[in-house]
Amino acid sequence: MSFTWKERHVLVTGATGIVGSWLCEELLARGAYVVALVLDDEPLSRLYSEKIIERCSIIRGNLANFDDCMRAINVHDVDVVFHLGAQTIVGAALRDPLECFESNIRGTYNLLEAARRLPGLATRIVVASSDKAYGDSPILPYTEDMPLRGAHPYDVSKSCTDLLSHAYAHTYGMGIAIARCGNIYGGGDLNWSRIVPGTIRSILKGERPILRSDGSMIRDYIYVKDVVSAYIALAEALDRNDMIGQAFNFSPESEVSVLDIVKAIAKAMGSAITPDVRNTVTNEIVNQTLDSAKARKMLDWHCAWTLDQGLKETVAWYRAHLT
């Protein structure tokens, strides 16, 4: 019998984030019973502003509190978990590494341990990681067999997240898989320090976008709807023994510099504004790209959105919500 989301009980941590809101919306459209673990009310979040939260069951709690994790899974008889909850801002992690470690590392082992202690529940768990887990590498693109060598607080937290997930999968036979993406963009991202939403907002205000780097850093940019499709494909495949504890890169496999992404955004917005290049950034990996051959082979997953298509939709969302 093929997997169906209809009436499946699904827990989404980090539901107020950019991916969380789009994922909850897609799961609801597929007929799932969605449980959102929410720490704070965030009325500007897309989950709230587009009233997605009104169709979800809400658990108020903190991933760093083990009892909250137990309650989130147990009370709603959760079948599937998408663990997206994390402190995701690199700059904030540098300023306050303890909070980052509490959220990203403790939050992950609390959730996985809660699932372990509740047999028959949370049989499929997708853990959202990042290309940052690989750390700095002289060899690119990253492939899943490369070591995890995070060196800065946020990067280390993602390396640890991956290793914890791998340990629980292989030691206890839990249905866990790990998703690694690069820079995720799309409507609803209100972290203005990120290059895509920050550039769009600056141009809408008639201001020059500020680049903290010299603009030459290479990154993967993946549209949020492609990320949602990747996470769902991963969850659906977790009944296969060969999937347990596996990590997958999800990427359009394009190499885009910071200057190139700013130019692409300006083009999508019909603007001739040029960026203000500050080149003050420190403690960031210079170049990062991902190889997605494994996802194509084992999951038959491909990006459906080009950069131009994704940016067109993204710009339209911000124009509707910021002007």
> How many CA atoms does the CB half-sphere of 168 hold within 13 Å?
26
Percent of the chain with pLDDT over 90: 90
Q: Name the band, by pLDDT with cuts 50, 70 and 90, for residue 186.
A: very high
* pTM confidence score: 0.96
The residues, ordered by sequence, that sit 6+ positions from 245 with a Cβ below 8 Å of its Cβ are: 165, 166, 169, 170, 176, 177
Helix (H, G, I), strand (E, B) or coil at 270: coil
Q: Tokens for 21?
A: 């809101």
| 156, pLDDT greater than 90 | yes
Per-residue pLDDT, 89: 81
Which stretches of 97-221 are DSSP H helices?
A: 97-101, 107-116, 153-172, 195-204
Task: Please give the DSSP secondary-structure letter assigned to residue 136.
Answer: -
At the topology level, CATH places domain 9-187+221-253+291-303 in Rossmann fold (3.40.50)
* Residues recognised as catalytic: 154
| 1, pLDDT greater than 60 | no
The structural domains of the chain, with segments of one domain joined by +, span 9-187+221-253+291-303
275 vs 212: CA distance, rounded Å: 10
226 vs 255: CA distance, rounded Å: 17
205 vs 187: CA distance, rounded Å: 17
Q: How many helices (H) does the chain have, and how many strands (E)?
A: 12, 13
Q: What is the CA radius of gyration of the chain?
A: 19
Q: With CA atoms as reference, report the closest residue to 301 among 191, 208, 180, 205.
A: 180
Please, are residues 227 and 184 in contact by the beta-carbon 8 Å criterion? yes
pLDDT per residue over 206-215, tens digit each?
A: 999 999 899 9
For range 51-66, the mean pLDDT: 97
At residue 191's C-alpha, the angle toward residues 190 and 195, to 5°, is: 110
pLDDT per residue over 257-296, tens digit each?
A: 999 999 999 999 999 999 999 988 887 888 999 999 999 9
| 160, pLDDT greater than 80 | yes
